[in-house]
Structure 1
Amino acid sequence: MPAKGRFVCKIFPNHAKFHFSGPQAHLLGIRLGVSGFVEKPLVVDGFEAPESWMPVASGLAELKLDNPESPRGRALRMSFDFNGGGGFVVARKEIRLPLSETWEFRFRLRGEVLPNRFEFKIVDPSGTNVWRWSEEPLKVSSNWREFVISSSQMPFAWGPAGGGIPSEIGVIEFAIAAGEGGAGNLWIEDFQWVDTGPLEAVSCQASSGRPQDLCNGNGWKSSPEDLSPWIELDFGRPRELGGMILHWLPDGARDVSVETLHGTEWRQVLELKSVAGSSTPMPLQCPATQRIRLSLQAGAALARIDWKGPEFSRSDDEFLHTIATASEPGAFPKYWLRRQTLLTPVGSPDGGPRSMMNEEGLVDIDAA
């Protein structure tokens, strides 16, 4: 395990402030390397069998499902009527689909719908944990509209997992929740899932040293005479980043500033000072970017960089949960691990001070 240390990060305008101090964890990620990744869309459903979708409606609402012809084959048509009331209608399908770290769902919609809320949900195989994307009100017309929903746009909604990212799908749902209600129809076609590929840089350049060594996983050191070293990494296409973990070579300098390229403008998004430990988790809350640059201090030396997807820093809580999960037991309170602490009261039946003791034997005196 890496040595314990602390870091304070300053996140620049339009980004939330974040401060962290505690054990620096060795978090596994994806090592940099040359990528020849090509997207290969997977058809989730061609809607040839509408009976595989189950209609669900609440209250007085009604929903019928069929599969009329559409420009790209068949569509799933949701014909609904809220009958003057509220509630929701749902088209639900059981399907097993393993997920990669970063992905997109793509589909097209058209229809006649009053201002209502549209939801796209995925449920894990346990049937209890849900991730959701929504638009309110849904804006559709008689013309087809393309939707691309990335993994970063589907936050955890509810369930005993308490958060995190899905690794496999057990159920998919398209839902309409009544706003103005009414009756209408919604057509869904060209429903695809796309693995957007591993988060890895395809090229590296630096102010000095051998940047290709970092891309090859062999580490990079700036030249001794380089007083303001930097290293720039290119992903080959815009990618959504939630953060990264810098793994330092021994005795390397530990100040770093992070910039991302947007158009022709470099934006500073994060800065760390006097970082200790052999690895440094860094949250990044910024738009998709193709290139990222690290400005370091003289003597900089990196062993490797592990890139993390959007869930890594969706919130401060998610970031700390990730750190806690990979840290030594006892380094963080159990609630950061989404685990319950079991307690029992300790005291005398005759009254007097009472205490609480947890399953590890820790006692909180006069707490009950």
Structure 2
Amino acid sequence: MYLLPYNLMKQSIRLILLLLLFSAVFTVPSPAAPGDEQKIDSFESLASWKADTSAGVSLMTDLVPGKQGKALMLDFSFQPERASVTLTKNVSFTLPDDYAFRLYVKGQPSGNNIELKVINKDGTRCVKRWNGVTLSDNNWTALTCRKKDMQFTWGAEGIKSNPCRIEIIVSKGFEGGSGTVCLDDLTITELRDTTKKLRSTATASSQDGENTPDKAIDGSMETCWSSEASNDQWLLLDLQQGEDVGGIILYWGQAYGAEYEIQTSVDGTAWDKVYATQEGDGETDDIYFKKRFARYVKINCIKSAAAGFSIKEIRLKSAEEAIIPSASISQQPNDIENILDGDKNTIWRTPFNGGQWLKLDLQKIRRYSGLTIHWDSDYASEYDVLVSNDGDGWNRIYSVRSGDGGRDRILIKNGESRFIKIDLKRSITGQGYGIREIELRSHAETTSTQKY
């Protein structure tokens, strides 16, 4: 038997241990075909992540049950005003021409900020920051961002070669604080060229005879999807890959949804509600919502106006058709984007009374027939609605001088402009304004004066 000298044996063992450590810390995801998803980390181990904190922050890490396997839990105490926790991982993968990152999170409390940094060897980096993230202790939330949604720093054109490091930062938000954040399944997906449109598919909870789900996306108003004659049905669209969606148009049959909601998802598991109504009136519903990156779009039909549900056709709006909101000021984390998130439990709020405003940019001159404002308790008792085609010259089309809050439904006859502005003159509380949701009715919708 041949035996190595003792010193040489020690060096060999040391080399083997270093190689094992290197393989654990330096992860190389396998190449993926366009549209496929690469897993950067599934958080099954703590070994590949290094944790740091800002001054005065205490932190404990642990592995907890994840979406399927395990997840990494950060248990932190945020006492200082600018408190943060940073996780760092060495990586090696190629950024495709277009891509989307996704990270699953859950925990408590809501209101803290989460940031993803992808860093190159020369210091160039791309960053995405989610402010005031709403978390749940029970349900996972998918944080998703496309390449075009990321900010590139230390290099105007961003990262050109392989990234070498990933950082995930949790920092104290305006209404956040001490608590826990669990992380699971950090992935990157290469996106196909969306000019080569893929054929979407449709499935449903049920169907009536030959009125199959695909009839809702076949381009014909002579066919339709029909469900069985009961409430609580759904229709699901699979776009085959993630895309930016800015709204949806529903062309109902006679059995329309009196109550329904629209949800989007990047993976078909974690869902975000982007629109909901309990006052559906059938025919055409032309719905705008905040731009979403999604692969799946689901229409949850809750209550029918007849027996079951029937949809003749569905058209999804592109990112170029989404509404872009802006405001004079926002009291964080109650950001202006909350007025278009389909959730009346979130609010846009200003800290001041007097001359405040919000503006809707339709991205080009469009026609519309009405506007609905869902106020919070600090509603505007006086306000004006103005429109403009260029954002400079404004025409007032509606005024309120004794508003009573709740919900204001405004009929706009032959409305047509690129910009819509709401000038807030006076708050009922004298301490600022709060709006939960704004809905814009397209000219294509059937509108009755009784409803408005």
**TM-score bin (small chain):** 0.3 to 0.5
Q: Identify the structure with bigger relative contact order (alpha carbons < 8 Å, sequence gap 6+).
A: 1
Q: TM-score, normalised by structure 1?
A: 0.43
TM-score normalised per structure 2: 0.36
